[in-house]
Structure 1
Amino acid sequence: ELLLNHSPNPSLFFSSGFCTFGRIVFQLFSDVCPKTSKNFLCLCTGEKGTGKITGKKLCYKGSTFHRVVKNFMVQGGDFTEGNGRGGESIYGGYFEDENFTLKHDRAFLLSMANRGKDTNGSQFFILKSDWFHVVFGLVISGFEVIKKIEGLKTDSASRPYADVRVVDCGQLITKSANDGKLPLQLQIFFLKM
């Protein structure tokens, strides 16, 4: 059941597969990176409509993981071009690096992919090693799914031969057992075609 709502530090999950690839659950760090987290969240819900720059729907639905580098990262979020050259933030075009408070001090962090300083759009990556980009979330389950995606055969530009595509996305609210609050979960389904 998909419900729209907001929480200070939303959790989200991706389900991917040929028929079923599995699920990845993230925790967003909205308390540390509110602007970056809001961008990601709104691109998952599609609630911001059409982009000011590209004229495309501001939503990950239909986009692919376009870059896979084994033992390093998987990258997606280019919903305009599908090849790593496109994308747009909910703020119109790019937005500035929010901060570098959180470090890439562990594997499976969710970070913004960009073309350099202050060029954040819609692209993100799940990192398995140290790097210098804005960290705004963490994988909390589904590590095996990332390993499956990493295991896909790629061309010389690290593009997977098989698509891993977002076929649906949105927010799912679940009740936390420890405090009764309703943390936010984002549901994104991936289909390998």
Structure 2
Amino acid sequence: MKKWVRAALILTTAAAMSAGCGTQPAQEQGSGGGERQTSFDKAPEMQIDEAKSYEAVVKTSKGEFTIELFAKDAPVTVNSFVFLSRQKYYEGIVFHRIVPDYIIQTGDPTGTGRGGPGYSFEDELGGPHEYGPGIVAMANAGANTNGSQFFICTGEWSKKLNEIPNYTIFGRIKDGMDTVLAIGATPVGGMNNDTPQEKITIESITIHES
């Protein structure tokens, strides 16, 4: 089931995904000529250290930005994001949805708003952070359906999400908000006027641990 972002507080998200769907991981050719895994049988075991700090440097076709990851506040979410990033899962994935002055959304390997990593995991809500420009949160298709899709808040309208705080906040933009805003300024069209008219891709995500 696909959910659409609307200014009336309904965040587009996506994802018809089910845990344990399929028995063999899907693979496709990566940019380096090797194969990268795009589907997994189950969520990863915990591999991050909540006492450490994590940042993700995201290189896109529009520029670069850095996400400070909230490992203490959303450890399960950050663990999944770090795992997928280290697996190069996000490489080549497009920003498939842009709502001007609201959010940009990515993380779906199919680019349709319906894809995911083959597993889902629980929400981590009620943390100390609020939605607003620069906040990074998980997209979902209902309670406890997080996968790989996430969104970045770009404008003041995103603060309205604090009235329905149903999306796990797991980071914030530390550097490169100008790149995020440039992506958010991409012309859009389509039936819901939120489909980018320019292909913008994630080229790489590098995780730094300290």
**So what's the TM-score if we normalise by structure 1?**
0.72
For 2:126 and 2:106, the matched residues in 1 are separated by 21
For 2:133 and 2:177, the matched residues in 1 are separated by 10
Secondary structure, aligned partner of 2:187:
coil
Secondary structure, aligned partner of 1:122:
coil
Residue in 1 that maps onto 2:66: 25
What is the one-letter code of the residue matched to 2:97?
Answer: R
Is the aligned partner of 1:135 residue 2:169? Answer: yes
User: What's the % identity of the aligned pairs?
Assistant: 29
For 1:106 and 1:82, the matched residues in 2 are separated by 25
Moved over 3 A (4+): none
Larger displacement relative to structure 2 (67-76 or 158-167): 158-167
Q: 1:1-193 alignment to 2 at 5 Å?
A: 8-17=52-61, 21-46=62-87, 59-79=89-109, 81-88=110-117, 92-128=118-154, 129-130=158-159, 131=161, 132=165, 133-156=167-190, 157=192, 158-171=194-207, 173=208, 183=210
Secondary structure, aligned partner of 1:85:
coil
Structure 1 runs not aligned, ≥5 long: 48-58, 174-181, 184-193
Residue in 2 that maps onto 1:179: none
- Summarize deviations over 1:20-46 as a string: whole Å, max 9, x none: x22111100001111000111111111
For 1:170 and 1:141, the matched residues in 2 are separated by 14
For 1:124 and 1:37, the matched residues in 2 are separated by 12
For 1:77 and 1:35, the matched residues in 2 are separated by 17
For 1:149 and 1:67, the matched residues in 2 are separated by 10
Instruction: Tell me, yes or no, if the aligned pair for 2:58 and 2:206 is still in contact at 8 Å.
Output: no
What is the one-letter code of the residue matched to 1:102?
Answer: P
Secondary structure, aligned partner of 1:164:
coil
* CA positional deviation for 1:6: 5.5
- Summarize deviations over 1:90-136 as a string: whole Å, max 9, x none: xx521111223134243210100011111111100001322221100
What is the one-letter code of the residue matched to 1:160?
Answer: P
For 1:42 and 1:71, the matched residues in 2 are separated by 30
**So what's the TM-score if we normalise by structure 2?**
0.66
The number of residues matched between the two structures is 152
Instruction: Tell me, yes or no, if the aligned pair for 2:60 and 2:204 is still in contact at 8 Å.
Output: no
Instruction: Tell me, yes or no, if the aligned pair for 2:57 and 2:205 is still in contact at 8 Å.
Output: no
Instruction: Tell me, yes or no, if the aligned pair for 1:111 and 1:137 is still in contact at 8 Å.
Output: yes
What is the one-letter code of the residue matched to 1:125?
Answer: F
* CA positional deviation for 1:9: 2.6
Instruction: Tell me, yes or no, if the aligned pair for 2:98 and 2:105 is still in contact at 8 Å.
Output: yes
Shift of the 22–115 alpha-carbon distance from structure 1 to 2, 3 Å rule, reads same
Structure with more strand by fraction: 1
* CA positional deviation for 1:66: 0.4
* CA positional deviation for 1:83: 1.2
- Summarize deviations over 1:52-98 as a string: whole Å, max 9, x none: xxxxxxx111211100111100000001x21111112xxx5211112
